[in-house]
């Protein structure tokens, strides 16, 4: 089992917490401060999203953050530089999340090599189907550079595909709690619970659940089902508040994350 999977399973306060930051939003230095704050309040895994112009798996909050980061000139190379600068300052495991167009345009092997050199433990690329592996060898290169490929499962992912994904999966599974895009929600669907059972049938890796976490009760509920809760849009919404300056938003985000424990 990978170091990332072992890290998640060894977390003392269950469930583990994974937070999400869009690199370059609201600015490069500011997003670095957000990562450091997330680590300081106890995030176990931090997912750094490399912005993309068409983030199809993201809801309106993340889409806006991606748009603003790109508008301010943020580029892929800066994401690698950011992580490299912070990797020795944080205890959380760091991941890159992006879309396959970014990986392909950068050069698949170059992307994997540079992500590893930057300090990434794994990659989340939600629009990379395993059926394409025979053409692009992305998953082979992830393994070559010791990067965990984290598979993304929705409520309609067929059991057969979950079985196929399990051959390549590393680190943990990322389960989306309902149909649609990222954002807030209040209830687990039956299909989400069924998908968790399918994953457990084929894999012993930890499972994370993206559920639109906005309060402590959500984290507790997730902990009754899986190993890790994903906190994304609720934090980024704080940084979209234009009436406050960045330091005020940073403090509000810190207090919010502390309240989840």
Q: Dmax of the chain from CA atoms?
A: 50
Our answer to whether residue 140 is catalytic in this structure is: no
| Residue 43 φ then ψ, to 5° | -60, 135
Cα distance from N-terminal residue to C-terminal residue, the chain: 27
Our answer to whether residue 47 is catalytic in this structure is: yes
Contact 2, 171 (CB under 8 A): yes
Contact 69, 23 (CB under 8 A): yes
Give the residues across from 230 on adjacent strands: 18, 210
Tell me if residue 123 falls in helix, strand or coil: strand
**Number of neighbouring beta carbons within 10 Å of residue 12:** 6
Tell me if residue 8 falls in helix, strand or coil: helix
Find the catalytic residue in 39, 47, 148, 227: 47
Find the catalytic residue in 58, 114, 148, 227: 58
Q: DSSP string spanning 140-208?
A: HHHHHTT-EE--EE-TT--HHHHHHHTTT--S-EEEESSSSSSS------HHHHHHHHHHHHH--S-EE
CA nearest 120: which of 134, 103, 137, 101?
Answer: 103
Cis? peptide before 189, omega within 30° of 0: no
Catalytic residues: 47, 58
């Amino acid at each position: 089992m990978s170091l990332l999977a072992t890290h998640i399973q060894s977390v003392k306060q269950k469930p583990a917490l994974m937070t999400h930051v869009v690199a370059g939003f609201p600015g490069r230095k500011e997003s670095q401060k957000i990562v450091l704050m997330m680590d300081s309040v106890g995030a176990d895994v931090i997912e750094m999203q490399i912005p993309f112009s068409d983030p199809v798996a993201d809801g309106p909050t993340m889409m806006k953050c991606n748009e603003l980061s790109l508008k301010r000139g943020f580029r892929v190379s800066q994401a690698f530089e950011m992580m490299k600068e912070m990797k020795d300052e944080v205890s959380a495991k760091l991941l890159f999340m992006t879309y396959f167009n970014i990986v392909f345009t950068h050069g698949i092997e170059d992307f994997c090599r540079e992500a590893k050199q930057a300090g990434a433990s794994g990659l989340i690329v939600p629009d990379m189907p395993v059926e394409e592996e025979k053409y692009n060898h992305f998953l082979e290169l992830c393994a070559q550079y010791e990067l965990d490929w984290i598979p993304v499962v929705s409520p309609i992912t067929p059991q057969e595909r979950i079985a196929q994904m399990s051959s390549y999966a590393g680190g943990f599974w990322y389960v989306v709690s309902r149909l649609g895009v990222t954002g807030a929600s209040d209830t687990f669907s039956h299909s989400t619970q069924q998908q968790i059972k399918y994953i457990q049938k084929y894999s012993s890796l930890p499972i994370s659940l993206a559920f639109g976490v906005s309060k402590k009760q959500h984290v507790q509920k997730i902990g009754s089902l899986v190993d890790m809760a994903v906190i994304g849009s609720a934090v980024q919404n704080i940084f979209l508040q234009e009436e406050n300056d960045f330091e005020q938003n940073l403090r509000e985000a810190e207090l919010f994350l502390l309240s989840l424990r």
